[in-house]
Amino acid sequence: MLAWLEERTGAVSALTQFLTEDVPGGASYWYVFGSATMFALILQVVTGIFLTFYYAPSAATAWESTKFIYDKVPLGSFVISLHYWGATAMIALVVMHLLQVLLFGAYKKPREVQWVVGVLLFLFTLVMGLTGYLLPWDLNAFFASQVAINIAGTVPVIGSGIQTFLQDGATIGTLTINRFFGVHVWLMPALLLALTGMHLAIFRHNGGAGPAVDEAELKKMKPGRFWPNQLFMDAVVSFIVFALICALAVMSPAPLDDKADPNQTSFQPYPAWYFLSLFGLLKYLPPNLELLGTVVLPGGLLTVLILLPWLDRNPSRRLSRRPWLVSITALTVAGTIALSVLAQMQIAAGRAASPTVASSVSAPTGGSGTASTDTSGPGAKIYAANCSSCHGASGAGMPGAFPPLAGNAYVTGNPKAVEHTLLYGLNGAIKVGGATYNGVMPPWKGTLSNADIANVVTYIRSSWGNKASAVTEAQVSSVTK
């Protein structure tokens, strides 16, 4: 039978050749991350195809069809949770794979092209995470993606073009879901599978890079075999990864918030964990440095990664002879983790001070220079319930997405203009503190009474160091569109 198949397809010799590969320096658990990432990719493809059988991309059906998968489809909740935790696993594994290759110096000649393809795979995996985040169309999907799209909009020159492309229009809606769906289900998977194929083909051409020692030492080491040694280790780890994903899917199913609703303005969006560090960076950068966080640092890091084989001319692969690479890598990893932890703490604090808990707002904040902030008046409660989710509890806003109200000359300027903004909303690009914002501020006429609007305008004009006159209900009533 085998001879018959071999004669007609060459499959048997191809497989034998594939399996009889030398592993320089011997098989090792250090080399399993690449194959484990590929396993996670296959799991995402399989579970993803299952989800497309039910999912219907449009503002009227995205959330409903996702809910249907949870409630009605046999094993639906389990498969959606496998997809959810599989994404986490794939990103964690691709990062570990990248770090291992980095520290082992495996990107050096002759593996430059393989490395560049790998960095692109890492980037596209993140794009998959970002585009998948919107699809369930729940509150968090909506507001977190709004932040992400607004951040893309801050890129100089091409930003507004990218924003319009991603939204496919002026606001987030059905067309946005379709764009993200197309990217998530067709474009990125096609690129990921094609590039993974290239990555493997080039890998076969160059062979494994082996341990982090220099060429001469490597030659003296006895090579291991791909089959059965390395393949066994790869299989063990992929199996452990699969078992973990299954356990997490059962114990902690993927969350689904209420359906997306642009008027649910007190909702606090939270990013996926792998974007927490970026979120933290934006939180802590002053608004006039926001481009540093949205473009310069992430773009710089990506450029350095892509060009690394040419930037790093050090011929040695031994860690002890590459102090620069080791220290920069350690600093970057530590910085990313620290920013993520800070961002997580911020989000937790924001939740604690969240709208419904008006009492936490009226609690005295201690003598920390906020003495002029009247935290107990009616304006404070209206602000906490309706505005703090976007503009922040202390009026600091969020770089790239929501302008600060503290220290904002527009807020403390002509009261009529501020009242107008509150009543009728605002969109189009505005400049605050040197940074551009181009989002949508919802209109409040009808949602808030004129008295409430007067109170909240008085509040933002006299809080967080702002010092400007109070406004009255009569003034608000006199403002016309």
Report the interface residues with ligand HEC, using CB under 6 A: 265, 386-387, 389-391, 402-403, 405, 408, 410-411, 418, 421-422, 426-428, 430, 432, 437-442, 444, 456, 460
Q: Which amino acid is at 312?
A: D
CB 126 within 8 A of CB 179: no
Round to whole Å and give the CA distance between 132 and 51: 12
> Cβ 395 to ligand HEC, closest distance in Å?
9
Q: Which amino acid is at 100?
A: Q
Taking the least distance from each CB to ligand HEC, the nearer of 54 and 410 is 410
Round to whole Å and give the CA distance between 325 and 327: 6
CB 133 within 8 A of CB 62: no
Taking the least distance from each CB to ligand HEC, the nearer of 27 and 423 is 423
> Cβ 254 to ligand HEC, closest distance in Å?
25
Q: Which residues contact 53 (CB under 8 A, 6 or more apart)?
A: none
Taking the least distance from each CB to ligand HEC, the nearer of 69 and 387 is 387
Round to whole Å and give the CA distance between 289 and 307: 25
At residue 128, what are phi and psi to the nearest 5 degrees? -60, -45
Taking the least distance from each CB to ligand HEC, the nearer of 268 and 316 is 268
Taking the least distance from each CB to ligand HEC, the nearer of 44 and 466 is 466
> Cβ 259 to ligand HEC, closest distance in Å?
16
> Cβ 240 to ligand HEC, closest distance in Å?
43
Handedness of CA 10, 11, 16, 18 (dihedral sign): positive
CB 226 within 8 A of CB 23: yes
Taking the least distance from each CB to ligand HEC, the nearer of 302 and 451 is 451
Taking the least distance from each CB to ligand HEC, the nearer of 74 and 428 is 428
> Cβ 127 to ligand HEC, closest distance in Å?
24
Round to whole Å and give the CA distance between 194 and 120: 11
- Calculate the alpha carbon distances from 451 to 264, 419, 468 in Å: 21, 11, 18
Taking the least distance from each CB to ligand HEC, the nearer of 101 and 423 is 423
Round to whole Å and give the CA distance between 70 and 356: 28
Q: What tokens does 33 get?
A: 């991350």
> Cβ 96 to ligand HEC, closest distance in Å?
37
Round to whole Å and give the CA distance between 368 and 415: 27
> Cβ 429 to ligand HEC, closest distance in Å?
6
> Cβ 452 to ligand HEC, closest distance in Å?
8
Rounded to 10 degrees, the C-alpha dihedral 290/294/295/299 comes to 140
> Cβ 438 to ligand HEC, closest distance in Å?
5
Taking the least distance from each CB to ligand HEC, the nearer of 193 and 409 is 409
